[in-house]
Amino acid sequence: MKSSAHSAATFASPVGKFSESEILQAFVPLLEEHNRWAGAQPGNLVEMTVGPGDDCSVLSMPASQLVFTTDTQTEGQDFRRQWNSGDTTTGYDVGWKAATQNLADVVSMGAEPITLLVSLSTPPDIPLQWLKDFARGLTDSCRKNGAERCSISGGDLGASTEISVTVTAVGRCAGAPLLRSGAQVGDVVAIAGELGTAAAGFAVMEYSQGFSIDDLENRPGHILRAVQAQQRPQTPMRNALQAVGVAHAMMDISDGPVRDAQRIAQASKVSIHLETELFRADIAQLEPVADWLTARSQTQEFSLSTATRWVLSGGENHGMLACFPADTPLPKGFRAVGRCERTHPDSVFVDGKVPSDKGWDHFLAE
C-alpha cells in the first residue's frame, strides 16, 4: 500500500486479505482530511481533542443542548449491491445515504450537526476500494448537504455476512429543540425538499429489468434523477435551519408525508389535513416515471395514480415537514400543503378522507 504503482491493484483486492489496521489505514486518512477541513470552517462548533483511532473520540464544546440520533442501513433490507435493473449500489452511495439520513434527523430538531460516529460491518470479499469510496461518500454528503462543519469523529469496523452501517449523529441546538409535539390548531403545514423521487427510484431499480450498461446510462433524464434520489438523497438543511424560531414543530420525512404527518398529529393532539392539489407539481414530475415503468415491468402494475402514491406515501427523500403559525411568512424553501385543525385529533386526512395508503412501515407489509 505504500507504492502508488500498486495502489490500484491493492484497492481492488477484497478486505479479507488485509488486517484491520491496514484497512483503517486505507480510509481513515480521508476522514482525518475532512475533519481538518471541517475544523477550519468559520464559526466551528466543536473542537476535537481526540479523533478516530482511540477507544473514544473526545470533543470540547461550549455549554449547549445536544441532540443525538442513530440509524442503520443493512444490505438486502435497505439497499442491494446489484438491483434487478442492473444498477449497482456503490460504497460511495452507501456512505452518502448513511450520512444524509442522520443529518436530516439532526436538523429536523433545529440543531446543526457537529459530528458523526460510524460503525461499518462488511463481508471479507468487499474490495478495499469500496471502503475508500464509502468514506468519501460520508464526507461529500456532509459538505454538499450543508453540514460543512460536521466532523466524523470515530466509530467501529467489523466483519459480517452482509454490509451493515450504523451512524450516530450529534447536533447542537442554539435554542430549544423543535419537537413533533409543538404543532398548534390553525398552523400551516409545509414541506421543504423533494417528494416521491426516492420512492420512484426504488421502483425503477427493483421492477425494471434486463438493462445493459449502455441502456442504464442512456435512460431518460427523469429516470436517472429518480435513481439518484434513491441512491444519494439530499436534505434541505439550510431551509430547515431557517425554520428555527418560526416553526412550532418539524420532522424529517423518512416514511412519506402521510405517515410522518400522522406522527406530528399524534404527538401534538391535532388533526392534519393535506390537499392533493398542493402536491400537484411533485406528482406531475413523477407521472412520466410511472408511464416509463408501465412498459418495462413484468411483475408490477403502474399507473398515473402511482405518482400520487409515491409523493404522499414514499419516503427516503429526507425532506422536512413543519408546522408554522398561519400569520407568519413561510421560510425560504417551504411550501404549504395543508393545515392543522382541532377536530379528530391524532388523525391525518387527505382531501377530507382518511388515506388508505399510510406510508412505509419497517415491520408491516405494504
187 is an annotated ligand-binding site residue: no
255 is an annotated ligand-binding site residue: yes
Three-class SS state of 111: coil
215 is an annotated ligand-binding site residue: no
CA distances from 317 to 56, 196, 254, 269, 277 (A): 32, 7, 7, 26, 20
Asked whether 189 and 321 are in contact (CB, 8 A), the reply is yes
CA distances from 288 to 96, 199, 239 (A): 27, 14, 28
Three-class SS state of 28: helix
The contacts of residue 115 (CB under 8 Å, 6+ apart) are 46, 48, 57, 59, 150, 151, 152, 153, 169, 170
The contacts of residue 53 (CB under 8 Å, 6+ apart) are 24, 28, 154
H-assigned helices in 145-235 = 197-207, 213-217, 221-231
Three-class SS state of 33: helix
69 is an annotated ligand-binding site residue: yes
Asked whether 115 and 154 are in contact (CB, 8 A), the reply is no
The contacts of residue 291 (CB under 8 Å, 6+ apart) are 302, 304
33 is an annotated ligand-binding site residue: no
The contacts of residue 214 (CB under 8 Å, 6+ apart) are none
Half-sphere exposure of 335 (CA within 13 A, CB side): 14
Half-sphere exposure of 165 (CA within 13 A, CB side): 26
96 is an annotated ligand-binding site residue: no
70 is an annotated ligand-binding site residue: yes
180 is an annotated ligand-binding site residue: yes
d(CA 215, CA 196): 24
In the DSSP assignment, the letter for residue 209 is -
Give residue 98's identity as a one-letter amino acid code. Answer: A
d(CA 47, CA 151): 10
360 is an annotated ligand-binding site residue: yes
d(CA 239, CA 245): 13
78 is an annotated ligand-binding site residue: yes
282 is an annotated ligand-binding site residue: no
Give the residue ranges of the annotated binding site for Mg(2+).
Answer: 55, 69-71, 105, 156, 252, 255
Give the residue ranges of the annotated binding site for substrate.
Answer: 78, 316, 360
Give the residue ranges of the annotated binding site.
Answer: 55, 69-71, 78, 105, 155-156, 180, 252, 254-255, 316, 360
Give the residue ranges of the annotated binding site for ATP.
Answer: 155-156, 180, 254
